[in-house]
Amino acid sequence: MGRTPDGQQLMIDGEDYAKTGMNPMEVLLNALGACAAFDTVEMIRKRRLDLISYRVELEGDRHDGTPAYYTEIRATHHINAPGLKQEMAERFVDLAMNKYCSVASSLKADIRFTVLLEQNDSY
């Protein structure tokens, strides 16, 4: 179970059967898709276009080994916004995925990890 400081919860599960949530790599893809979607929708709204529907589907290929990180991620954006021309839609999606999305930028960043360990006998 993942929890945010304000109490929001996300079920995270690594089981193959009787799953109760997404596995961590599925969470990562969904975070990337949600981040790009927020940015894309914002750009459409700034153009004062009606957004009838929007969804983004992501899939990825992973390294054969440990760790099994993503080597390629593909995103398919489905946008229904009357008046949104193909060229503009492509630009919005490109900006969202490659410039504005903090999740995508984090995947490309050189991140330093600091790990702390607290042991508590009451667990």
Instruction: For residue 100, tell me if it sits in a domain.
Output: yes
Instruction: For residue 115, tell me if it sits in a domain.
Output: no
For the stretch 40-99, pLDDT in tens is 999 999 999 999 999 999 999 999 999 999 999 999 999 999 999 999 999 999 999 999
pTM, entire model: 0.84
- Distance separating alpha carbons of residues 23 and 29, to the nearest angstrom: 10
Instruction: For residue 122, tell me if it sits in a domain.
Output: no
What is the span of the domain harbouring residue 84? 2-108
Greatest Cα pair distance in the chain? 62
| 83: CB partners within 8 A, 6+ apart | 49, 50
- The per-residue pLDDT for 26 is 92
Instruction: For residue 113, tell me if it sits in a domain.
Output: no
- The per-residue pLDDT for 123 is 54
Nearest C-alpha neighbor of 80 from the set 49, 111, 101, 114: 49
- Distance separating alpha carbons of residues 111 and 102, to the nearest angstrom: 13
Nearest C-alpha neighbor of 34 from the set 9, 13, 14, 54: 54
What CATH code is carried by the domain that includes residue 40? 3.30.300.20
Instruction: For residue 119, tell me if it sits in a domain.
Output: no
Taking the CA of residue 40 as centre, how many other CA atoms within 13 Å lie in the half-sphere pointing to its CB?
29
Instruction: For residue 117, tell me if it sits in a domain.
Output: no
| 14: CB partners within 8 A, 6+ apart | 23, 24
The number of folded domains in the chain is 1
